[in-house]
């Protein structure tokens, strides 16, 4: 049988044990938190870096009437093709030839060039033409024209543009064009004394 004093001592002992367990739990939590914090503070870090310098390429073209002297020609300063025989006295069945060379400018990357025909002005509407590539300026004549690479079909109207392009090498190897202008057999009498003018644009693109 417990005395009054014994009954009082039991709850006190139990309370002390509960408080001790709580303190141990708090200490354990603190240790865990403390360990995590210590790990974060002790981390090492390092880095690597890389960079680059970038320069754009250049692309341009120039043309020549003789295959030797090249320069830049604009719409207002177009190169005047030199046809042989002269095209100032055309008659039915007559064909004249003129060469024009195009190449990449110095330091240019490779690309392509394509002939685009403007709208002709004048009344000599029966006039026809064709364009071929030849191996040299001197090959633009009646004897060599037929063996050239077709660019614009023979017998085309002056407003006809090319459907294909030619490669421009970065080493400045020229593309030689040969223009063949003719007044076909059967041209109407109304063409006598008439004239017509045409400008072609050689559109170059890189790549």
Q: Which of 207, 205, 200, 204 is nearest to 178 (CA)?
A: 200
In the predicted model, what is the mean pLDDT of the chain?
89
pLDDT class of 42 with cuts at 50, 70, 90: confident
Residue 72 is assigned to a structural domain of this protein: yes
Question: In terms of domains, do 41 and 83 share one?
Answer: no
Question: In terms of domains, do 93 and 155 share one?
Answer: yes
Strand partners, 131: 152, 179
CA distance 146 to 161: 19
User: In this predicted model, what pLDDT tens digit does every residue of 1-39 receive, in sequence order?
Assistant: 444 454 555 555 666 666 666 656 555 554 444 445 555
What per-residue confidence (pLDDT) applies to 25?
Answer: 57
What per-residue confidence (pLDDT) applies to 10?
Answer: 52
Which is more confidently placed, 36 or 154? Answer: 154
CA distance 138 to 204: 24
User: In this predicted model, what pLDDT tens digit does every residue of 55-75 receive, in sequence order?
Assistant: 999 999 999 999 999 999 999
Residue 56 is assigned to a structural domain of this protein: no
Residue 186 is assigned to a structural domain of this protein: yes
Q: Which two tokens stand for residue 9?
A: 């001592």
Question: In terms of domains, do 78 and 170 share one?
Answer: yes
3 state SS for the chain: CCCHHHHHHHHHHHHHHHHHHHHHHHHHHHHHHHHHHHHHHCCCCCCCCCCCCCCCCECCEEEECCCCCCECCCHHHCCCCCCECCCCCCCCCEEEEEEEEEEECCCECCEEEEEEECCCEECCCCCEEEEEEECCHHHCCHHHHCCCEEEEEEEEECCCCCCCCEEECCCCCCEEEEEEEEECCCCCHHHCCCCEECCEEEEEEEC
Question: In terms of domains, do 129 and 155 share one?
Answer: yes
**Total number of domains in the chain:** 2
How many residues are there in the chain?
207
- The average pLDDT across 181-205 equals 97
Statement: residue 134 has pLDDT above 60: yes
- The average pLDDT across 154-158 equals 98
Percent of the chain surpassing pLDDT 70: 80
Question: In terms of domains, do 37 and 73 share one?
Answer: no
Cα R_g (the chain), whole angstroms: 45
Statement: residue 142 has pLDDT above 50: yes
What per-residue confidence (pLDDT) applies to 166?
Answer: 98
pLDDT class of 182 with cuts at 50, 70, 90: very high
Question: In terms of domains, do 177 and 119 share one?
Answer: yes
Residue 55 is assigned to a structural domain of this protein: no
pTM: 0.78
- The average pLDDT across 97-103 equals 98
Question: In terms of domains, do 75 and 153 share one?
Answer: yes
Burial class (CB in 10 A: 0-12, 13-18, 19+), 10: exposed
- The average pLDDT across 106-135 equals 98
Statement: residue 176 has pLDDT above 80: yes
Question: In terms of domains, do 8 and 85 share one?
Answer: no
What per-residue confidence (pLDDT) applies to 28?
Answer: 53
What per-residue confidence (pLDDT) applies to 13?
Answer: 60
Q: Which of 181, 13, 167 is nearest to 88 (CA)?
A: 181
Question: In terms of domains, do 67 and 132 share one?
Answer: yes
């Amino acid at each position: 049988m417990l005395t009054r004093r014994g009954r009082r001592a039991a709850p006190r002992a139990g309370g002390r044990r509960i408080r001790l367990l709580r303190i141990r739990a708090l200490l354990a939590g603190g240790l865990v938190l403390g360990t995590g914090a210590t790990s974060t503070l002790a981390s090492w870090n390092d880095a690597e870096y890389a960079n680059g310098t970038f320069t754009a390429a250049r692309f341009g073209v120039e043309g020549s009437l003789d295959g030797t002297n090249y320069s830049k020609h604009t719409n207002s300063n177009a190169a005047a093709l030199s046809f042989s025989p002269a095209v100032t006295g055309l008659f039915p069945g007559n064909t004249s030839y003129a060469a024009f060379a195009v190449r990449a400018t110095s330091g240019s990357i490779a690309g392509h060039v394509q002939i685009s025909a403007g709208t002709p002005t004048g009344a000599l509407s029966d006039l026809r033409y064709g364009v071929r590539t030849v191996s040299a300026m001197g090959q633009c004549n009646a004897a060599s024209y037929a063996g050239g690479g077709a660019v614009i079909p023979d017998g085309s109207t002056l407003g006809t543009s090319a459907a294909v392009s030619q490669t421009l090498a970065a080493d400045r190897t020229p593309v030689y064009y040969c223009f063949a202008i003719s007044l076909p057999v059967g041209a109407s009498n109304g063409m006598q004394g008439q004239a017509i003018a045409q400008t072609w644009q050689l559109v170059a693109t890189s790549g």
